Structure 1
Amino acid sequence: MAPQPEPVSEVLRACGMDEEVLDEYGLIPVHARAARGGVKLRTASGARLLKRVHMPVDRLRYVFLGAEHAAAQGLPGVPRFIRNRYGDPFVIHETGLYYLTAWVSGRDPDAGKVTDLAACAGELARWHVAMSAFGQTVAWQPEARSLPDRLAAALPELERDQEPSSAAGSFARLYAACRRDLAERLRFALAACAEADYESLHAVSRAEGRTCHGRFVRQSLVYTGNQWCVLDYDRMHPGPPVEDLAMFLHRYLPAHAWSGDVLARALAAYEAVRPLAESERFALAALLSAPLRSVQVVLWYMHRARAWDEDEYMDALESSLELEEPRQAAVNEVLARSPHWALAEGADAGDAGKRVPVQHLRMEVPVEVEEDAGGSSGAADGDGAADGGREASGHVLDSARSDPGPLGSQEAPRPPSPSGKKPEGGRKPKRSRRGRRRGGGAGPGGVNLGDEGHPAGLWRGSRPPEA
Structure 2
Amino acid sequence: MGSGPQPGQVLDQALRMYAWHLRKVTKVRGAFRVQTEADTFALKPVRVKRQRLSFLQKVNTHLDDHNYTHVLPWLKAKNGERYYADETVAFYATPWFGAEWTPNASLSEKRIIQSLADLHRLTENAGFGTGGAEPQFKETVRRWNDQKEQVEHYAEKARKRTYPSPFDTAFLNHVDELVHAASFALNGLKRLSEYDARKPFRRVFCHRRIHRHNLLVLGDDWKWIDFDHGGWDVPMKDLALFFQRFPPKGETPPEILESWLKAYEATLPLSPREKQWFCIFIAYPDRVIKWLNRYYGHDGSVNELFYVQELEQEIRCFQQLKQFAKHVWPKKREKRQKVSTP
TM-score relative to the length of structure 1: 0.61
Q: Is the 8 A contact 1:256 1:262 kept in 2?
A: no
Q: Is the 8 A contact 1:289 1:331 kept in 2?
A: yes
Distance in 1, Cα, partners of 2:255 & 2:285: 20
Q: Give the equivalent residue in structure 1 for 2:133.
A: 142
CA separation of 1:214 and 1:60: change in aligned 2, threshold 3 A: same
Q: Give the equivalent residue in structure 2 for 1:456.
A: none
Q: Is the 8 A contact 1:18 1:95 kept in 2?
A: no
Distance in 2, Cα, partners of 1:69 & 1:166: 60
Q: Give the equivalent residue in structure 1 for 2:304.
A: 310
Q: Is the 8 A contact 2:133 2:232 kept in 1?
A: yes
- 1:274 lines up with 2:268 in the alignment: yes
Q: Is the 8 A contact 2:72 2:94 kept in 1?
A: yes
Tell me the percent identity: 20
Distance in 1, Cα, partners of 2:114 & 2:200: 20
Question: Any gaps of 5 or more consecutive residues in structure 2?
Answer: none
Question: Any gaps of 5 or more consecutive residues in structure 1?
Answer: 1-11, 341-351, 361-467
Q: Give the equivalent residue in structure 1 for 2:110.
A: 118
Matches within 5 A, 1:264-303: 264-303=258-297
Q: Give the equivalent residue in structure 1 for 2:241.
A: 247
Instruction: Give the aligned length.
Output: 329
The superposition leaves residues 259-289 of structure 1 with CA deviations (integer Å, 9 ceiling, x where unpaired) of: 2011011112111221222221121112121
- What is the aligned-residue RMSD (CA, Å)? 3.5
Q: Is the 8 A contact 1:164 1:172 kept in 2?
A: no
Matches within 5 A, 1:3-402: 18-21=10-13, 22-35=15-28, 37-92=30-85, 96-104=89-97, 106=98, 108-111=100-103, 116-134=108-126, 136-146=127-137, 147-160=140-153, 161-162=156-157, 163-166=159-162, 169-195=165-191, 197-201=192-196, 209-225=203-219, 227-253=221-247, 255=249, 257-304=251-298, 309-333=303-327, 335-337=328-330
Once the two structures are TM-superposed, the CA of residue 40 in structure 1 deviates from its matched residue by 1.7
The superposition leaves residues 289-324 of structure 1 with CA deviations (integer Å, 9 ceiling, x where unpaired) of: 11222112112224339x963332222112222344
Q: Is the 8 A contact 2:10 2:91 kept in 1?
A: no
Bigger Rg over Cα: 1
Letter in 1 for 2:118: R
Distance in 2, Cα, partners of 1:137 & 1:94: 23
Letter in 1 for 2:303: D
Once the two structures are TM-superposed, the CA of residue 247 in structure 1 deviates from its matched residue by 0.8
Once the two structures are TM-superposed, the CA of residue 41 in structure 1 deviates from its matched residue by 1.5
Q: Is the 8 A contact 2:45 2:91 kept in 1?
A: yes
Letter in 1 for 2:263: A
CA separation of 1:249 and 1:339: change in aligned 2, threshold 3 A: farther
CA separation of 1:205 and 1:42: change in aligned 2, threshold 3 A: farther
The structure whose residues are more often helix, as a share, is: 2
| Helix, strand or coil at the partner of 1:125 | helix
Once the two structures are TM-superposed, the CA of residue 32 in structure 1 deviates from its matched residue by 2.8
| Helix, strand or coil at the partner of 2:25 | strand
Distance in 2, Cα, partners of 1:264 & 1:75: 25
CA separation of 1:218 and 1:315: change in aligned 2, threshold 3 A: same
TM-score relative to the length of structure 2: 0.81
Q: Is the 8 A contact 2:249 2:313 kept in 1?
A: no
Distance in 2, Cα, partners of 1:32 & 1:166: 53
Distance in 1, Cα, partners of 2:199 & 2:89: 34
